[in-house]
Amino acid sequence: MNKRDESPVIWRAVHEESKRRWKIGLIAVNLFYLTVIASMGFLLIQDENRKESALLQKEKFDIMRTRESIYSILRSKGVSLGQGLDIADVTIQQSKKLNLSMSLILAVMKKESEFIPYALSSKSAMGLMQVHPITWDEYVGKLNLKVSAHAAFDPATNIIVATHVLKDLYEYYKKTAKSEEETWKSVLSAYYAGMTSFSQTGMTESHAKYVADVTTFKGEFDEKFKD
C-alpha cells in the first residue's frame, strides 16, 4: 500500500483519536463543573443550616428571656420558681398556639387573681384566670381534657382553658366589631361578665373599668418585654 492509499486510514485514526480526546475533555469539563456546582450547593446547604441553627438559638434565647421576664413578674407575688416557670411556659405556649398576646394573657391573670393560683371568687370563679364552673365544664368537654373541677386550680390547666375562652370570644366578636379595639372591648367585657350578661346590658361602667384595667396592665407588660 502506498502513502496515498494509507492517508484515509491515517486520517480516520487521527480523527477517532481526536474525538476520543475531545470526549474525554468534555467529560472532564463536565465533571469539573458538576464538582463546582455540588460544592456550591454543599456550601449553600451549610450556610442555610448555619442560618437555621442561628435562628433556633435566637429563638431559644428569646424564650429564655421571656420566661425570665414572666417569672420576675410572678416572683414579686410570691409564686415559687417551679410554679412560676410552669406558668411562664404555658403562657408562651398558648400565646403562640392561639395567636394571643402574652401581655394580654398576663394582664387578665393579674386583673382576675393577682397571680394567685388558688384564688376563688364569691361567684365561684376559679384559679389564676378565674374561670366560672359552668364555663370550666363546657371547655373541659370541648377540649377533651380528662380533669375534674379541682384542676382549675392547676395553673397550667387553668391558663389553657381560659386562653381558649378568650380566643373563642375574639373569633365571635370580630365578626361584627368595627375595629380591633372594639373587638377586644367586647371580648374582655364578655370574659368579665359572661356573654349573656354582656349582650343584655351592653357596655356598663364596670365593664369599662375592667377593660381599662386590663389594657393598662397589658401596656405595662408590653414595656417589660421590650426591655
Mean local confidence (pLDDT), 157-176? 97
The mean of the pLDDT values for the chain is 86
Q: How many CB atoms lie within 10 A of CB 147?
A: 14
pLDDT the model gives residue 190:
96
Query: What is residue 215's predicted lDDT score, i.e. its pLDDT?
Result: 97
The 3-state DSSP class for residue 45 equals helix
C-alpha cell at 91: 403562657
Q: Which long-range contacts (CB under 8 A, 24 or more apart) does 1-5 make?
A: none
Any idea what DSSP says for residue 126?
B
Spatial CA neighbour of 194 closest among 207, 183, 178: 207
State the pLDDT at residue 69.
Answer: 87
Q: Check pLDDT > 60 for residue 196.
A: yes
3-state class percentages of the chain: helix first, strand second, coil last, to nearest 5: 80, 0, 20
pTM of the model: 0.75
- pLDDT of residue 6 exceeding 60, the answer is no
CATH classification for the domain delimited by 77-226, as one of 1.10.530.10, 2.40.128.50, 1.20.1250.20, 3.40.1110.10:
1.10.530.10
- Model confidence at 67, in pLDDT bands (50, 70, 90)? confident
- For the cut 60, the answer to whether the pLDDT of residue 33 exceeds it is yes
Share of the chain above pLDDT 70, in %: 81
Q: Cα angle at 123 between 87 and 194, to 5 degrees? A: 80
Rounded CA-CA distance 27/4 in Å is 35
What type of residue is 22? Answer: W
pLDDT at 59 exceeding the cut of 80? no
C-alpha–C-alpha distance, residues 82 and 99, integer Å: 25
> Looking at residue 54, what is its pLDDT?
63
* C-alpha to C-alpha distance for 147 and 216, rounded to whole angstroms: 34
Interval 193-222 mean pLDDT: 94
Alpha-carbon gap, residue 18 to 27, rounded angstroms: 14
Domain range summary for the chain, segments of one domain joined by + = 1-67, 77-226
